[in-house]
A and B are shown apart, each in its own frame.
Chain A
């Protein structure tokens, strides 16, 4: 594998964090959470322009917040609502 950039490492660490946090949840919910998280990471990996650092950093911050919420024992499940797809290119 090629050497990873700092940003890539952060993304992978965040993904690992989500998968670890999901282990603490009920088996049914865990499956759903893993499906949602996996879908979102893979979709963004495909759709987001790799040079769109601002947007990737925004996603990282948002992900970190969501992970923080997920880690709370009070959080038992996760839902998503479809949203219009964000711009994949940086705004001029």
Chain B
């Protein structure tokens, strides 16, 4: 059954843009509070930055809904963020300046708070079940990633003879 769920995941979900537009406003306002309290960025600077961030997110969602091919919303939102800030995009300097007033860690805080509230009974059972296992796997994840990057970089440097 799980296999078919995976298969279905690759088809385009119907995003209700109006719903998302409203919920995104709430989420951005929550993020603005974090941005003001933690990194102590002036409220009006943060507000302008958040408007830019909001518009990029909405543009990404619109593309997720209507683009000729499907990409997940995070990929579209990220791509819009990149294209909007490329040096040769008109007005990109202004967009970059506004976005600088938004701290990325401050935006992650509310997302993790929602995640803490979303913990279900079943998850606690899973955590209890595989706690030490995940810790062990995590250590190998870090080791594997670091060692893998070192080996590839080493090989390319040798190949280039530099």
Asked if A and B are interacting partners, one says: no
Chain A residues with a Cβ under 8 A of chain B: none
